[in-house]
């Protein structure tokens, strides 16, 4: 039974998508286009946009990937898709690490 459980856990871990390690410092330099809507430190001045400061990095990464792929729709999704369309996987990881590192 233990071997079966270990095999299941190992299979689950191996099948998880690989996440690039984000570099918060690099993300800060890449965040300049985000400032107009999400604020200089990830805190908005216009309530229709979400605060990003202190948000979970994995959530931010997935959200950016979903915007890029068209997996998110409605609201400002088309605007976000235009902003993230040219981001690499590393850019996305760096941005997520940067915003996650900020105090909410």
Which one is predicted more confidently, 20 or 24? 24
CATH of the domain at 70: 1.10.760.10
Q: What is the DSSP letter of 42?
A: S
Tokens 């039974």 — which residue?
1
- For 59-104, the pLDDT digits (tens) are 999 999 999 999 999 999 999 999 999 999 999 999 999 999 999 9
CA-nearest of 50, 80, 56 to 68 is 80
Is 3 a domain residue?
Answer: no
pLDDT (average), residues 21-43? 95
Is 11 a domain residue?
Answer: no
Report pTM: 0.79
Is 63 a domain residue?
Answer: yes
State the chain's mean pLDDT as an integer.
Answer: 87
Is 9 a domain residue?
Answer: no
Distance separating alpha carbons of residues 85 and 49, to the nearest angstrom: 19
Q: How many domains does the chain have?
A: 1
Is 12 a domain residue?
Answer: no
The parent domain of residue 80 ranges over 24-101
Q: Decide if pLDDT at 2 tops 80.
A: no
Provide, rounded to the nearest whole percent, the portion of the chain with pLDDT above 90.
Answer: 78
């Amino acid at each position: 039974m233990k071997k079966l459980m270990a095999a299941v856990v190992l299979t689950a871990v191996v099948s998880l998508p690989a996440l690039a390690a984000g570099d918060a410092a690099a993300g800060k330099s890449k965040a300049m286009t985000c400032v107009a809507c999400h604020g200089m430190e990830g805190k908005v001045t216009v309530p229709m946009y979400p605060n990003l400061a202190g948000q979970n990095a994995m959530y931010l990464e997935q959200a950016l990937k979903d915007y890029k792929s068209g997996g998110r729709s409605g609201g400002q999704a088309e605007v976000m898709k235009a902003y993230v369309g040219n981001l690499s996987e590393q850019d996305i990881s760096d941005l997520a690490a940067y915003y996650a590192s900020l105090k909410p």
